[in-house]
Amino acid sequence: MESRLSQMDEVLASVAETIKNFAVIYLVDITEVPDFNTMYELYDPSTVMFFFRNKHIMIDLGTGNNNKINWALKDKQEFIDIVETVYRGARKGRGLVIAPKDYSTKYRY
């Protein structure tokens, strides 16, 4: 589980500079700020959620869970593509955006 967490941390850290013009990455320790744990079902060791102007943006990844990414993405460009898709959809006022590819069978989540 630790390696999964460090993989995602590595991807997030490596893309932060690339996406800085349209996204900011915040790391939150859910044990320190438990207010949204129940609301967003935050119990995985690593969870990525998207917000735009204080509104939660959902993304259809083909997994059935449109609230978040709860597995480690290893490909930096893949994550950048997802963030760009979320940003474009959110700017158009969409509360749910469609991921650039289907993740229903790619990862074990």
Q: Residue ranges per domain, the chain?
A: 2-98
Please state the rounded mean pLDDT for residues 55-70: 91
Residue 94 — φ and ψ, nearest 5°? -85, 135
Tell me whether strands 50-52 and 96-98 are parallel, antiparallel or unpaired.
unpaired
Spatial separation of the C-alpha atoms in residues 83 and 99, rounded to whole Å: 9
* pLDDT at residue 65 in the model: 86
Q: Sorting pLDDT into bands at 50, 70 and 90, what band is 80?
A: very high
Q: Is a pLDDT exceeding 80 seen at residue 109?
A: no
* pLDDT at residue 92 in the model: 95
Hey, what CATH class is 2-98 in?
alpha beta
CA torsion through residues 77, 25, 38, 29, sign: positive
Please state the rounded mean pLDDT for residues 60-73: 89
- Give the three-state DSSP class for 15: helix
Q: How far apart are the first and last CA of the chain?
A: 12
* pLDDT at residue 108 in the model: 53
